[in-house]
Amino acid sequence: MFHFRRQFLLSTLSIATGLAVSTHAHAQEFPNKTITIVVPFSAGGGVDTIARLLAEKLRGTLKQNVIVDNKAGGSGMIGANAVVKATPDGYTLLLGSAGETAINAFVYKNKMQYNPAKDLAPITLVTRIPNVLVASPTLPVKNIEELVAYGKKNPGKLAYSTSGVGNPQHLNGELLEELAGIHMVHIPYKGASGQLVDVVSGNVDMTFVSFTAAKAFIKDGKVKAIAVTSAKRTSFAPEIPAIAEYKPLAKYQLENWFGLFAPAGTPDAVLQKLNAAVTHAIKDPDLAKRLQDQGGEPAPMSTQQFRDFIKTESVQFQRIVETANITAE
């Protein structure tokens, strides 16, 4: 009996040691082939642009080819699901936005084919993307305080456009309604172009949109920049105040963000190697500047910090979605 137990323990130890050595060896040799960053949106958009900028830097850092693969559709969920199903070895990654990794689970619920909290392994936050609230030149307000006052005097009259239902722009509007105690009408569009054009023409009062999309309209005076949705002013447009600067809305903060993920089950040593490589790339002044040009604030984190960040963000997203009773179309 003793001999059997001794052999069992030795066998178990041998297996555990073998697994540890195998994992360590895999991490040491990683990467030894092409890495694919899946972008769950069409080419040419904000996520795609940032993925290609990141891939360019990672090629030099990791000494391997890094390519971008666009898998658009399903509010980002088709691409995310493809990564979830990929081999968890670090060679198939997702550059995901807040939508498909932290919001959609509350909007689409059982319509989703994956659970982002369980099926994706966070690597690092890459950049935070505040939206900017811009208003039509015909709207008689010039700052957030006047906008709130106008909304209170005209309940249900203010209309705001976004690029869809249940995305960060929509949640921006719902959070403003909640904290300001006003009622607005949400008009979802399919893309930033239409939602901005109708604000320029005065058909819609205002919109929440990325600074990159709105920059030319602001510069030409076709829309008025009211405020940004980050807690503080941004580095790329410091002249635009934050909504939170208005004291009654001091708790206002809601941004989109892009982060890098791997399939759950990817060895931690590989995740850490990727985290170090991405962090090194993002801290490069050239890439940091190019991310800012895209309306983003570079924000690398450790894997644990990113996990904690997603949990905190998810709590706010869930509360807003459930309070506003937002459901998938």
C-alpha to C-alpha distances, 310 to 151, 154, 183, 294, 303, nearest whole angstrom:
32, 36, 29, 22, 11
Mean pLDDT of the chain: 92
Q: What are phi and psi of 64, to 5 degrees?
A: -145, 160
- At 54-86, the pLDDT tens digits run 999 999 999 999 999 999 999 999 999 999 999
Instruction: Tell me the mean pLDDT in the region 154-182.
Output: 96
The range of the structural domain enclosing residue 307 comes to: 32-129+256-324
Domain count, the chain: 2
Contact 215, 293 (CB under 8 A): no
Picking from 18-32, 210-224, 282-296, which range would have the lowest pLDDT averaged per residue? 18-32
Which of 249, 284, 305 marks a domain boundary? 249
- Statement: residue 198 has pLDDT above 60: yes
In a domain, 112, yes or no: yes
Stretch 20-35: mean pLDDT: 72
**CA proximity to 199, closest of 173, 160, 232:** 160
- Helix, strand, or coil (residue 185): strand
Ranking 137-141, 168-172, 288-292 by mean pLDDT, the lowest is: 288-292
pLDDT greater at residue 21 or residue 52 = 52
Task: Let me know whether 202 and 286 are in one domain.
Answer: no
pLDDT grade for 20, boundaries at 50, 70 and 90: very low
Residues 110 and 163 in one domain: no
Does 202 map to a domain?
yes
Task: Kindly report the CATH number assigned to the domain that includes residue 199.
Answer: 3.40.190.10
Please report the pLDDT score of residue 110 as a whole number. 87
Banded model confidence at residue 18, pLDDT cuts 50, 70, 90 = low
Kindly state whether residues 197 and 107 are assigned to the same domain. Answer: no
- Taking 80 as the threshold, does the pLDDT of residue 87 lie above it? yes
Output the furthest CA–CA distance in the chain (Å, rounded).
88
Does residue 80 share a domain with residue 40? Answer: yes
Mean pLDDT over residues 245-267, rounded? 98
Three-state DSSP state, 176: helix
Whether residues 243 and 261 share a domain: the answer is no
Any domain includes 26: no
Q: Is residue 189 part of a domain?
A: yes
Residue that terminates a domain, selected from 249, 274, 292? 249
- 164 in the same domain as 213: yes
Q: Give the helix ranges, DSSP H, for 30-135.
A: 46-62, 77-84, 98, 104-107, 116-119
In a domain, 4, yes or no: no
Whose tokens are 């990467």? That residue is: 31
Band (194; pLDDT cuts 50, 70, 90): confident
Averaged pLDDT for residues 322-328: 93
Q: Is residue 292 part of a domain?
A: yes
Structure letter (DSSP) for residue 249: G
Residue 8 reports pLDDT greater than 80: no
Percent of the chain whose predicted confidence (pLDDT) is above 70: 91
pTM, two decimals, is 0.89
pLDDT, one tens digit per residue, over 200-246 is 999 999 999 999 999 999 999 999 999 999 999 999 999 999 999 99
Residue 195 domain-assigned?
Answer: yes
Report, as an integer, the average pLDDT of 186-197. 87
pLDDT of residue 44: 87
Q: How would you label 234-259 residue by residue, b for 16+ Cβ within 10 Å and e otherwise?
A: bebbeebbbbbbbeebeebbbbbbbb
In a shared domain, residues 237 and 307: no
Residues 108 and 190 in one domain: no
Q: At residue 21, does pLDDT exceed 70?
A: no
- 108, 239 contact by CB (below 8 A): no
Outline where 63-143 has alpha helix (H). 77-84, 98, 104-107, 116-119
d(Cα 200, Cα 155) in Å, to the nearest integer?
22
Q: Let me know whether 217 and 306 are in one domain.
A: no
Query: Among the three residues 214, 249, 284, which one is the final residue of a domain in this structure?
Result: 249
Residue 46 confidence class, pLDDT cut points 50, 70, 90? confident
Residue 26 has pLDDT above 70, yes or no: no
pLDDT (tens digit, 9 = 90+) per residue, 97-146? Answer: 999 999 999 999 988 999 999 999 999 999 999 999 999 999 999 999 99
CATH number at residue 88: 3.40.190.150
Q: Are residues 168 and 158 in the same domain?
A: yes
| 72 within some domain | yes
Q: Which of helix, strand or coil describes residue 300?
A: coil
Q: Mean pLDDT throughout 136-163?
A: 96
pLDDT of residue 24 exceeding 70? no
Predicted pLDDT at 51: 96
Residues 97 and 186 grouped into a single domain: no
State the pLDDT at residue 132.
97
Kindly state whether residues 164 and 306 are assigned to the same domain. Answer: no
